[in-house]
Structure formats: C-alpha cells, structure tokens
C-alpha cells in the first residue's frame, strides 16, 4: 500500500514522489530514526529512509541513485 504521507524533508519527499511515480515502493515505518524504506518491487532490493539525516540533500542524493538504478526496467534487467 502506498501512503500519502510526505517526508518532512523536502528534497527527500521529492525523490520519494518521483520514485513512486516510476513504480518503486515507499514503505513507511516511523520507528526511531527510520522513516521507512524504498523498495524495488522487481529485484527486492531496499534502502532505508531516515527521518532527520544530518544533511538531507545527501540522503536525497543516495535515494535518487537507488531510484535511477531501479526505475521502470523490465524484471531483472537492472540487477
């Protein structure tokens, strides 16, 4: 299930929105520093999403790289 809740840090929220548009899953957790995780439904790889990373832009960048690697490719082609 895809939640409508926005990540509190704008650069991260933007990346998550684009990732969802491209077919990746955002699973919310809200546990300690973990806001949730970004999941690729094709290969099952995941990446943790933090609530309040020290530098939100850096965390957004890493999530964006994950997005780039896993977006909209046919099953297994990117792994």
Give contact residues for Zn ion (rule: CB under 5 A).
40, 42-43, 45, 70
Q: How far is the CB of 44 from Zn ion (least distance, A)?
A: 7
Q: Are the C-beta atoms of 32 and 16 separated by less than 8 Å?
A: no
Q: How far is the CB of 55 from Zn ion (least distance, A)?
A: 25
Residue 32 or 76: the one with the smaller Cβ distance to Zn ion is: 76
Neighbours of 4 (CB within 10 A): 4
Residue 40 or 60: the one with the smaller Cβ distance to Zn ion is: 40
Between CA 28 and CA 5 the distance in angstroms is 9
């Amino acid at each position: 299930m895809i939640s409508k809740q926005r990540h509190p840090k704008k650069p991260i929220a933007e990346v998550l929105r684009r990732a969802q548009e491209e077919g990746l899953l955002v699973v919310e957790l809200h546990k300690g520093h973990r806001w949730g995780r970004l999941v690729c439904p094709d290969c099952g790889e995941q990446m943790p999403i933090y609530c309040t990373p020290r530098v939100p832009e850096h965390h957004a960048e890493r999530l964006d790289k994950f997005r780039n690697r896993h977006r909209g490719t046919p099953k297994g082609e990117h792994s």
